[in-house]
Amino acid sequence: MNMLSRKTSQDSHGQDSSYFLGWQEYEKNRYHPIQNPMGIIQMGLAENQLSFDLLKSWLRRNPDIVGLKKNGVSIFKELALFQDYHGLPALKNELVEFMEKIRGNEMKFAPEKLVLTAGATPANEILMFCLADPGEAFILPTPYYPGFDRDLKWRTGVEIVPMHCSSSNGFRITSSALERAYKQAQKMNLNVKGVLVTNPSNPLGVTMTKTELNYLVNFAIDKNIHIISDEIYSGTVFAPPKFVSIMEVVNERISDNNIWNRIHIVYSLSKDLGIPGFRVGMIYSNNEKVVSAATKMSSFGLVSSQTQYLVANLLMDKKFTFKYMEETQRRLKRRKEMLVSGLRNAGILCLKSNAGLFCWVDMRHLLSSATFEAEKELWIKILCHAGLNISPGSSCHCCEPGWFRVCFANMSEDTLKIAMERMKTFTDSTNSAVKGSNNSY
């Protein structure tokens, strides 16, 4: 007799994906410029570490807030006892204003429609619990963030139907690809409850166009399903075109207001402010029932009250947050250009991108054959011989072998330079010819 639950006994978590296996190799042999200069450089982690100096200087200038004081008086006791799952009103007010600012103040957000969660991971999972029953499905455009296989499915029992996008149009969403995915779900006897997109895209590093967003809205209206837009990278847009939220597109389509309560946004401060360890995430929905249920579910993963207090005060400092976002975007742009230039020097091209903490990199010309086996072989060589942990496209469910996600914002400039030198040495040793594509540079 099995003494443990099926969840414990079966490996359905997705930890055996090459995305996570690369991390494990990195953990065994971490690069350090002095202590371990031959170690593996982590380029598989989408963290924004470029502006810690700005955050630290703000903390130094605001010792009262860090010391949990208000007007010089300690509020430690109130915060230590506060555990309302609705969250601190001050934080919710500041978050909606921050979200409006990122979207160019094109729309208004209401704090009562916002649910606080301990990061974007539980936000996405809670929405699965709210919108679908076990065995029902969500369509996700590929390539998508490998963690979704865990976040959306593991505890909820919800299925993912991949919607395969192609390099021929830069992996853009089309109405025909949406229809194909829907028909595939029907063949599998899956009831589709919605589509989940990341905008800007992880791993592509591009903002979705209004055309793509309108395809999504038309599709959701036609099939009477939900749209979840994970907008965790919305503040990382460092080059045109500007970020357009799904809410903005729906706002412009007043006649289609029956879709209004089937649009849900996930957001977090992990990427834009570079504070993933603070676990500040949220769901924004126009659906009262979803907000009510999600708020109750959020009690299983609350944001600590002292974190809420600190972040609310940080966001209240509008002068600081404006300068911070502007400077971070400038630094991201510079860092991305360093990566693109370093890869180009190694004979490798990237998809044109304008957002995010990574590039979608075309290494098809380095494959021994146009297969996923050859992609895995190349990935292992890059990991073991070049000492670089990057994420293979297959871990992101890309339908074309030879694409990789490479992160650039989780390391120092010096480390990135060393990574690019290693990549150049590696490609020189393979002596492969470069084949470009229209969507690359």
pLDDT digits (tens, 9 = 90+) for 306-363: 999 999 999 999 999 999 999 999 999 999 999 999 999 999 999 999 999 999 999 9
Q: Identify the DSSP state of 386.
A: I
19: pLDDT confidence band, cut at 50, 70 and 90? low
pLDDT for position 12: 57
The rounded distance, in Å, linking the Cα atoms of 84 and 345 is 54
pLDDT digits (tens, 9 = 90+) for 137-163: 999 999 999 999 999 999 999 999 999
- By the 8 A CB rule, do 346 and 420 touch? yes
The rounded distance, in Å, linking the Cα atoms of 125 and 213 is 23
The rounded distance, in Å, linking the Cα atoms of 407 and 43 is 5
Residue 433 predicted with pLDDT over 60:
no
Instruction: Report the pLDDT averaged over residues 116-138.
Output: 96
- By the 8 A CB rule, do 136 and 157 touch? no
pLDDT digits (tens, 9 = 90+) for 210-269: 999 999 999 999 999 999 999 999 999 999 999 999 999 998 887 666 899 999 999 999
pLDDT for position 15: 54
pLDDT for position 437: 45
**Short-list 38, 352, 317, CA closest to 171:** 352
16: pLDDT confidence band, cut at 50, 70 and 90? low
Residue 379 predicted with pLDDT over 90:
yes
- By the 8 A CB rule, do 235 and 103 touch? no
Residue 74 predicted with pLDDT over 60:
yes
Q: Among the ranges 8-22, 81-95, 196-210, which has the highest mean pLDDT value?
A: 196-210
Tokens of 290: 């979803």
pLDDT for position 14: 54
Q: Among the ranges 22-26, 63-67, 350-354, which has the highest mean pLDDT value?
A: 350-354
Domain ranges of the chain: 6-52+325-430, 63-316
pLDDT digits (tens, 9 = 90+) for 157-203: 999 999 999 999 999 999 999 999 999 999 999 999 999 999 999 99
Strand partners, 440: 351
**Short-list 149, 259, 247, CA closest to 199:** 247
Q: In what order do the strands lie in the sheet with 358-362?
A: 349-350, 358-362, 403-407, 391-392
pLDDT for position 83: 83
The rounded distance, in Å, linking the Cα atoms of 233 and 218 is 24
pLDDT for position 388: 96
pLDDT for position 358: 98
**Short-list 232, 251, 252, 253, CA closest to 243:** 232
Q: Among the ranges 23-32, 73-82, 223-232, which has the highest mean pLDDT value?
A: 223-232
pLDDT for position 435: 45
| Same fold for the pair 6-52+325-430 and 63-316 | no
Tokens of 375: 């992609």
Helices 372-381 and 18-28, packing angle to 10 deg: 10
63-316 CATH? 3.40.640.10
Catalytic residue numbers, as ranges: 145, 230, 232, 271
pLDDT for position 270: 94
Which of residues 163 and 72 earns the better pLDDT score?
Answer: 163
Tokens of 248: 């903005």
Helices 305-316 and 89-102, packing angle to 10 deg: 50
The rounded distance, in Å, linking the Cα atoms of 268 and 281 is 4
The rounded distance, in Å, linking the Cα atoms of 72 and 91 is 20
**Short-list 208, 147, 220, CA closest to 397:** 147
Does the domain formed by 6-52+325-430 have CATH 3.30.559.10?
no
What is the total residue count of the chain? 441
Q: How far is CA 101 from CA 15, 203, 235, 251, 264, in A?
A: 37, 24, 9, 17, 19
Strands (E), 231-346: 263-268, 281-285
The rounded distance, in Å, linking the Cα atoms of 91 and 307 is 10
pLDDT for position 10: 64
pLDDT digits (tens, 9 = 90+) for 388-409: 999 999 999 999 999 999 999 9
**What whole-number percentage of the chain has pLDDT above 70?**
93
pLDDT for position 406: 98
25: pLDDT confidence band, cut at 50, 70 and 90? confident
Which of residues 310 and 106 earns the better pLDDT score?
Answer: 310
pLDDT for position 432: 44
Strands (E), 189-347: 192-198, 226-230, 263-268, 281-285
